[in-house]
Amino acid sequence: MKQEEIIALMKREVVPAIGCTEPMCVALCVAYATETLGCEPTGITVRLSANILKNAMGVGIPGTGMVGLPIAIALGALIGKSEYQLQVLQDCTPEAVERGKELISKGVIRIELEQKACDNLYVDVVCCAGEHNAQAIIAHEHDRLVFLSHNGNVITDERNCLQGGKDNNVENRLNLREVYDFAMDTPLELLEFINEARVLNEKAADEALKGNYGHELGKTLSRPLGKGIMGDSIFSHILSTTSCACDARMAGAMIPVMSNSGSGNQGIAATLPVVVFARENHNTEEELTRALILSHLTAIYIKQSLGRLSALCGCVVASTGSSCGITYLMGGNYEQVVYSVKNMIANLAGMVCDGAKPSCALKVSSGVSTAVLSAMLAIQNKYVTNVEGLIEDDVDRCIHNLTRVGAKGMEETDRTVLDIMTHKVPACEA
């Protein structure tokens, strides 16, 4: 890929988002349909792919103090603005939340599982008022509107572009060598956009220390108890800072994070371990910038063949990126970066995604701890060999082995996880 293509890819995939991206994606789709309808809907039907439903059921919705899809849908209709994209609910107020609760109580909202969704990421919203209706569909990417109609009159229809993945022809040409060379050789001034990820995600971590979010894993690690067990080290600081940001995000803090490939947690895990290590290892600003590029672009590369939503936890992907970045900050070369990838795949290949939720902070912590350990081994030229599990000599084949397991091998796992989640309580009820 050309330099400008990779930069455009990164700017498309590394974007700010408020809250968990799946309920925000649903709220965005509702906002599109409501805006097209032109008035407050009296009926809202939402049909979701299984992966969207799984990742939207258990997360806090920013500014609401509530969990789950109904309030996200209600607010998408009442105050959502499509121009805000994945920050669609940033105008949320206590008054809006009360109106949202009233809308929910009226039985206006209906949520269904779309069994025949054309993509793992699929949201279909129909809003009605009287004899008028509007339909909006988002698919393939969290902010990609592929269909819009008003009273049956089609305004936008790009559904045919989903077959085979519109962007994959370009994006799948990436390989790890290309990712590494881009991060190392591109003029620094062209890479400085990535530093916004550092700013946003550090603010999210700081926010967690001010409140009581989720399971408070990050705060626990930073307290005397955590330091007494984990120590007061670079390693423990990486775990606490990264977990803090995840705590705040998944519990509904009204603060943007920089996402990666449609996931805020992936953006956090690809950013903060690298930032903390660079700061405490006294790396230069240029080294930090290049390490962040290496981390984020590695995650993007892996996600191209895995897909945006899968049964494999995204923390595996993002932490693999951060392990590459940390290896570089330790003084590692390309071969040692390869070793870190192999170590990560060998360790975390089976981590299951059981939906977005506050306890994702635990998985983020597991992922980034493995990232540090993998980098430590890699810098000593120690790595998992091709006689072990998914690992092959060719690092790109290792990555594709991982994504094959996550995208194809774990399909039944994904269905089983969703079945368990939806039968704990009545399906689709918060």
> What confidence tens digit (pLDDT) does each residue in 271-284 have?
999 999 999 999 99
13 in any annotated domain: no
Residues 118 and 213 in one domain: no
12 in any annotated domain: no
| Alpha-helical regions (H) of 14-93 | 21-37, 50-56, 69-78
Residue that terminates a domain, selected from 110, 133, 162? 162
pLDDT tens digits, one per residue of 169-202: 444 579 999 999 999 999 999 999 999 999 999 9
Residues 150 and 107 in one domain: yes
- What's the confidence (pLDDT) of residue 426? 53
CATH number at residue 45: 3.30.1330
pTM of the model: 0.90
6 in any annotated domain: no
Residue that terminates a domain, selected from 162, 179, 201? 162
Which residues have C-beta within 8 Å of that of residue 119, sequence separation ≥ 6? 49, 139, 140, 162
Residues 308 and 394 in one domain: yes
Residues 99 and 223 in one domain: no
Residue that terminates a domain, selected from 162, 193, 228? 162
Residues 216 and 134 in one domain: no
116 in any annotated domain: yes
| Contact call for residues 266 and 314 (beta carbons, < 8 A) | yes
Residues 375 and 293 in one domain: yes
- What's the confidence (pLDDT) of residue 57? 85
CATH number at residue 209: 1.10.4100
Q: Locate 424 and state its tokens.
A: 């704990």
| Mean pLDDT score across all residues of the chain | 92
pLDDT at 23 over 80: yes
Range of the domain at 298: 168-422
2 in any annotated domain: no
- What's the confidence (pLDDT) of residue 318? 95
More confident of the two residues 415 and 31: 31
d(CA 234, CA 242): 12
Residues 83 and 188 in one domain: no
| Total of domains in the chain | 2
